[in-house]
Structure 1
Amino acid sequence: MFGLQFAVSSGRCTRGAFMQLIKLSEEMKKDFEWDYILVVDTEGLRALELDGNATIHRDNELATFVTGLGNMTLVNIFGENSSEIQDVLQIVVQAFMRMKKVKLSPSCVFVHQNVSDVSAVEKNMDGKMKLLEKLDKMAQLAAKEEECDANSFSDIIEFDVQKDVKYFAQLWEGTPPMAPPNPGYSESVQDLRKFILSKASKSPGVTLSAFRSKVHDLWNALLNENFGVQLQKHS
């Protein structure tokens, strides 16, 4: 991702969460109030090669920890079907409703990979509205369970359906290994990078000591949660 040296391969290769501290160049520091960006990479969620209640519990716990830890979470989805990740996010939302003592400011950006036609504006807009409808519905279900005053997903996790959903075409033009890279994919990556930095520039940043305290508080809150419970399914 953007030249970072995280371990990648097909399937679920990463175990747990890995962090990398990226130092800003002197030129970039002029536009920001901080000196570093912390990037956290997690293992894939709902992997086909792993199944069972233990995996579901681990996925829910990991997703909640990472989403609560960061200012922005990139939700990477293969294709346009986000139903599986929505189940995870429903658990995350409900957990955040319970963590009233932990100061959280999460936000989400959905990145759909391998979309056949990224230029289909009407189709993509329809997909965005369906995604928003499902996210809001699951937030309402979680709010009802927790007796929390929340009517939409964005009441818990910052999210703008018009800006925070991105579509990427396939990486290759044709069939690998002889297929050339798709220039549209590279353009989408550059646009996403600019988008991330633009949103990040509005953040005041955090000191290492404050970040350490946040990790401590969030982890203690997670230990009190029951992530094995599956919430009501949404259609």
Structure 2
Amino acid sequence: MSKIVIVGEGYPPILNAIEFCMITYKTIKERYPNDEISFYPLASGGRGSVQTMIHYQKGDLIKVLNKTTIESYYLNNDIALIEGNDDNSEYRWQLLISDSNNKGATSIYLALKGEDISFNNFTPINKEITLTALGDSKLHLKLPIINGANFFFNLSKVEQKISEADLIITSTFQISNDYPLEDSISILIKKAKEYNKQLLILSGTLPEYKLPGVDLYSLSPENMPLDIALKELSNNLRYTLIDLMREDII
């Protein structure tokens, strides 16, 4: 009996971490019903962080209208967590911070990627930023910034499972040319090396170079246009897993 750990961020916003874990778990479990398979969704501070937070901690998904788009954040009594995304504008932060504060949050955390985070005109000092709540010139909030990847890796308590695993399976849209970065993939690569474990990364696209000690497989079939591949992402994930099991890679 093998021990398989499924851990990753998925492919947000198309397939979130929980969806990735569930599809991978069910597909492998159908073929290997007696294997010990566990899953742990992760996030790096960007899209998907709120859903991952709710998975591990009791709390609510609060939705807010931001002009023409719907934003959301995590709220549990007096604790709020706001994730970063492509729109890191001052207005967005003020909107979500003000809304969470109005709903009773006194501890508001910003989950972002990387150790040295800066965006727009805000440069954190000691991993904090100060913002004025929307429409309230008297309310100035000091907001702690958390490194999303480290925070969610520790929250998941997956390290013990990794140390005991025969195989670790994770996900990413792509391996950046700037690797290593402070994201969950970087952490998992380091942990797999530390514990001498096989790490299988299911990537949307493959880099032009190889990573030592890592097995990389693409979810995008050859000659399939990217827009179609993205629409078929969940099916491509299943087909890739089935092919890897057929070849005894999993």
TM-score by length of 1: 0.33
Q: Which is strand-richer, 1 or 2?
A: 2
Q: Which is helix-richer, 1 or 2?
A: 1
Say which one has the larger Rg. 2
TM-score by length of 2: 0.31
